Structure 1
Amino acid sequence: MTDQKLVPRALVVLLCAASAVVTLAGIREVGSIVGPVLLALVLVLAVAPVRTWLARRGAPGWTLVAVPLVLVLLLLLGMVAILTLSVAQMATLASTYGQQFNQLVARAQQFAGQLGIGGKEMSQAIRTLDPSKIFDLLTGFASGLLGAFSSLVLIVVLVLSMCLDARNFDRILASGTARRRPELIHALGQFAHNTRRYLVVSTGFGLVCSTLDVIALWVLGVPLPLLWGVLALITNYIPNIGFVIGLVPPALLGLLEGGPKTMLLVIACYMAINFVVQSLVQPKFLGDAVGLSTTVTFLSLLLWAFVLGPLGALLAIPLSLLTRALLVDSDPEGKWAAALISGQAPDDGRA
């Protein structure tokens, strides 16, 4: 046998990192195409159980395509309508609370004077706080999502194509040729299952949180409670920072409408609801469906938001699950990497 010169592991790591950078840069350049494609894929996976249920009931073949397509179309139209209304309402509110904010600035300056804090620097620092900047930031985020959903025709066509090819795709996966790569087939199946489970559980508990948020905002007298509840439902899919994004508009409105007390009550209600529902109850139902540690989840949010913008933040978890399925779970020797990503020790079969 001839001696084989092994490639240094450091060089392999550098080459993999360089390839990842080039790949992500390419995806970012064509994000206007890749984003709708990935969104269509997630939507098709979300409605796949409907198609399976219809097939088991012996429904006509055209219904296996038409029913999931109609469900996706209704979902997209609802999202576009909600985001459009959010952008319009936030733009309107930013210009109607100027007087209330000036009054709050005067109160803050008076309170600072009572504490012995004064001077031109303090006054200038207080006056630089402009609520319109926060509204502009939120409006920009909502506009970014709206821009991603604006490719409605492309997304619908992609969903239609994927629904038409779903049956053939299932046959290919079940064929003997595909069974030559059992790890890849199993990884793709787990990706689809985990993505659907994540969407179902997140949607269910998101509805519970948003309903409780609407009730709390209505009791506290914050304007447009239903709108902010829907916004909380949408931002529920954004890991780590989605809660903060959904909290800022009603908290700011509470400050402008009822003063600091109302703002603190809004923050307290949101934090209590989020802690009980999403931190204590939801993980017990979600279990290990995500398979991503807290650190990896946050890093994936930053990565996909950088690559695909607001749509990447919304789809951060499904995209990370897809990446894990293709690069880690499909590799028989990737158990150690899967353990690092999930934050759980691998099962070595020992008792």
Structure 2
Amino acid sequence: MNLPLAARYANIVLATIALFVALSLGRSVFAPFALAIVVGIVLSPVASLINRLGLPRALGAFLGLGLILTILGGMIILLEPLVSLALEQAPRLWQELSDIITSLQRGLADLDSVSDEIARAFQPDEPAADGEEEAPTFMLPRLSDALFLAPAVASQILIFIGALFFFLLSRTDIYEWAGRISNLPDLRAARLPAGFTGPLHLRLMRAEKQVSRYFLTITVINTIFGAIVAGAFMLAGIPSALMWGVIAFLLNFIPYLGPLILAGTLLLSGLVMYEGALRFMPVALYMGLNFLEGQFITPAMVGQHLQVNALAVFLSLVFWLWLWGPLGGFVAIPLLVWFVALSKADPVPENQPAPAEIA
């Protein structure tokens, strides 16, 4: 009795490991596909509205895809002059940052020299080391690297566009099929009415609404937060305030890690742009605004029914970042909300009899 049970658990563990390995090896396909599914779930109200109006599903899929492409195109147009300005100033900023790193390296080298002198005082017979280690060099990515990655990026974009369109086109059929498959024995026994597709179908529909509502709320919060960051930086006289606001808006979709990355970037920028205590002004201003947003704005707008355990958010973020990198960071929280909503949704609505009640 114990041996088959142990073998069953071993098969589950091996299958889980094989699944993770497959997802990691096929990240160039699975990551954009998962992102398309998440975006499709977020855009589900648009497709549902088109269906309620009696219009073809293909029109809803085209409108949803067009909306996403328009948003992405608008963001590219908005960021293009800011990126061009950053590229123009990159050599000067890089040189100043290199000088700071060199100064730190010299300070560490002096500290090492003092340590060596102390060591020689206690060990006079040991010969001194000749020469100095060559300082590490820092190189920006080259144009050839970008050209090498271009085909891979283009293929992922095509996978994202195709998966998003066909998911919006057939998502209701997918949900109904999943509901029928999950209740296949009951359907064969004729214990369910003809129009009932099973609890899983209803859970998928309700989970979709939860994810869409959550993402819409978070998008509004991040938009307000980005605008506040841009306005505060503009009032403080920080250069490229609009760019920092857009970056704050985008990185705020990745909890914990996104704000940490932006804080580190602002710290380096402050060290390059300012002198004295003003060097810490950009990062301090941003961290203060981020604290207010995380403690007051988000809890007030999200509400208790959409909140997710903080540890679960952190573990999901770490897992998907480890598995798929930056794309995993963007899909981590929506997928977590989807799984949580799927597990909490009522399997049968009030006007639908449960399978056990049907003779």
Contact 1:148 1:311 in 2 (8 A): no
Matching residue's letter, 2:67? L
C-alpha separation in 2, matches of 1:86 and 1:299? 34
1:227 corresponds, among 243, 252, 255, to 243
Residue of structure 1 equivalent to 2:71: 75
Contact 1:69 1:159 in 2 (8 A): yes
Q: For each residue in 1:94-129, what CA deviation from the matched residue of structure 2 results, as whole angstroms up to 9, or x when unmatched?
A: 42125544675799899x8xxxx9934399xxx979
Residue of structure 1 equivalent to 2:264: 248
2:161 corresponds, among 156, 163, 174, to 156
Residue of structure 1 equivalent to 2:224: 208
C-alpha separation in 1, matches of 2:51 and 2:241? 41
The answer to whether 1:277 aligns with 2:293 is yes
Q: Mapping of 1:1-351 within 5 angstroms? A: 5=1, 15-59=11-55, 63-78=59-74, 92-98=88-94, 100-101=96-97, 119-121=110-112, 151-169=156-174, 179=196, 181-182=198-199, 184-288=200-304, 292-323=308-339
Contact 1:301 1:316 in 2 (8 A): yes
Contact 2:210 2:341 in 1 (8 A): no
C-alpha separation in 2, matches of 1:52 and 1:62? 12
Q: For each residue in 1:28-86, what CA deviation from the matched residue of structure 2 results, as whole angstroms up to 9, or x when unmatched?
A: 11111111211111111122212223343455655323321210221333456678777
Matching residue's letter, 1:161? F
**How many residues get paired?**
311
Task: Describe the shift of the 1:316–1:214 C-alpha distance in structure 2 as closer, same or farther (beyond 3 A).
Answer: same
Task: Describe the shift of the 1:122–1:166 C-alpha distance in structure 2 as closer, same or farther (beyond 3 A).
Answer: farther
Q: For each residue in 1:298-349, what CA deviation from the matched residue of structure 2 results, as whole angstroms up to 9, or x when unmatched?
A: 11111111111110011111223445567x56999xxxxxxxxxxxxxxxxx
TM-score normalised by structure 2 residue count: 0.70
Q: For each residue in 1:119-153, what CA deviation from the matched residue of structure 2 results, as whole angstroms up to 9, or x when unmatched?
A: 34399xxx9799x68x87xxx9xx99x97676322
How far 1:268 moved relative to its partner?
2.0
C-alpha separation in 2, matches of 1:330 and 1:11? 33
Residue of structure 1 equivalent to 2:352: none
State the structure with more CA Rg.
2
Matching residue's letter, 1:74? T
How far 1:90 moved relative to its partner?
5.5
Gaps of 5+ in 2: 115-133, 181-192, 348-359
Contact 1:247 1:270 in 2 (8 A): yes
Contact 2:270 2:282 in 1 (8 A): yes
How far 1:11 moved relative to its partner?
6.5
Task: Describe the shift of the 1:43–1:105 C-alpha distance in structure 2 as closer, same or farther (beyond 3 A).
Answer: closer
Q: Which has the higher contact order (CA 8 A, sep 6+)?
A: 2
Contact 1:65 1:164 in 2 (8 A): yes
Contact 1:250 1:266 in 2 (8 A): yes
C-alpha separation in 2, matches of 1:177 and 1:93? 66
C-alpha separation in 2, matches of 1:84 and 1:29? 33
Matching residue's letter, 1:153? L
Contact 1:187 1:330 in 2 (8 A): yes
C-alpha separation in 2, matches of 1:254 and 1:224? 13
Q: For each residue in 1:154-206, what CA deviation from the matched residue of structure 2 results, as whole angstroms up to 9, or x when unmatched?
A: 22222221222245446657875784641x23432343122212211111110
How far 1:211 moved relative to its partner?
0.9
**What secondary structure is seen at the aligned counterpart in 2 of 1:285?**
helix
Contact 2:58 2:169 in 1 (8 A): no
The two structures, once aligned, show a CA RMSD in angstroms of 4.2
TM-score normalised by structure 1 residue count: 0.71
C-alpha separation in 1, matches of 2:54 and 2:208? 23
Task: Describe the shift of the 1:26–1:241 C-alpha distance in structure 2 as closer, same or farther (beyond 3 A).
Answer: same
